Amino acid sequence: MKVTPTNIPDVIIIQPNVYKDHRGYFFESYNKNVFEMLRITHQFVQDNQSLSKKNVIRGLHFQKPPYAQAKLVRVVCGAVLDVAVDIRKKSPFYGQYAMVKLTAEENNMLWIPEGFAHGFVALEDDTILSYKTSNYYNKDSEGTIRWNDKTLNIPWNISNPIVSEKDEEGISFKDFITPF
């Protein structure tokens, strides 16, 4: 497994060893022993999956403590531009984002620890994003930072995004008070 830190060192790109032959391919998307060697020791308790059309933006979502979630994100079909925004007030990277293209073809994954808002834009129709979480979803603990916040200035690079009402109504980063 190859591990590459992003511009925010706690957010890492994980490239599993993929074994291909005339039948297709095989890889381990998760192996507890390997992840513990990478110092990713969270126990995963929930798997989530979403299907999105091209240009759908989901996010920027997070769960407040005590329901904060670390995530292991990967694309099963299609491609996304995945974004993790550091919302840890004492972090030197507070308010900065890591942006990584994840594709089913590359089988790459993104590790996002607790204390980050997460979002993505689907780059292809029928994109399936799958992720493991270290804590259960709790509706009363969810938060959303506006996906197109001017302070964050995330370059989504699409002209006609498809966004949910909830995500359109997210809080601005300048008005956001972090629980982390």
Provide the pLDDT for residue 46.
Answer: 97
pLDDT bracket for residue 67 (50, 70, 90): very high
* Rounded alpha-carbon distances, angstroms, from residue 34 to 9, 31, 102, 151, 155: 19, 5, 21, 37, 33
Residues with Cβ < 8 Å from 41, sequence gap 6 or more? 35
Provide the pLDDT for residue 155.
Answer: 97
Provide the pLDDT for residue 148.
Answer: 97
Provide the pLDDT for residue 69.
Answer: 98
pLDDT bracket for residue 3 (50, 70, 90): very high
Provide the pLDDT for residue 48.
Answer: 97
What average pLDDT score do residues 68-86 get?
98
Q: Are 29 and 109 in contact (CB under 8 A)?
A: yes
Question: What tokens were used for 29?
Answer: 């998307």
Question: What tokens were used for 113?
Answer: 């620890």
pLDDT bracket for residue 38 (50, 70, 90): confident
Show which residues are catalytic.
Answer: 61, 131
Kindly list the domain boundaries of the chain, sorted by start residue: 2-175
Question: What tokens were used for 143?
Answer: 């938060």
Question: What tokens were used for 60?
Answer: 């920027």
Provide the pLDDT for residue 59.
Answer: 95
pLDDT digits (tens, 9 = 90+) for 126-137: 999 999 999 999
Element of type H or E holding 168 = helix 165-168
pLDDT digits (tens, 9 = 90+) for 98-112: 999 999 999 999 999
What average pLDDT score do residues 105-126 get?
98
Measured from the Cβ of residue 38, the count of other Cβ atoms closer than 10 Å reads 12
- pLDDT score of 95 more than 90: yes
The fold of the 2-175 domain, in CATH, is Jelly Rolls (2.60.120)
Q: Which of 28-32, 44-48, 90-94 has the lowest mean pLDDT?
A: 28-32
Cα of first residue to Cα of last residue in the chain, in angstroms, is 30
Strands 19-21 and 24-26: antiparallel
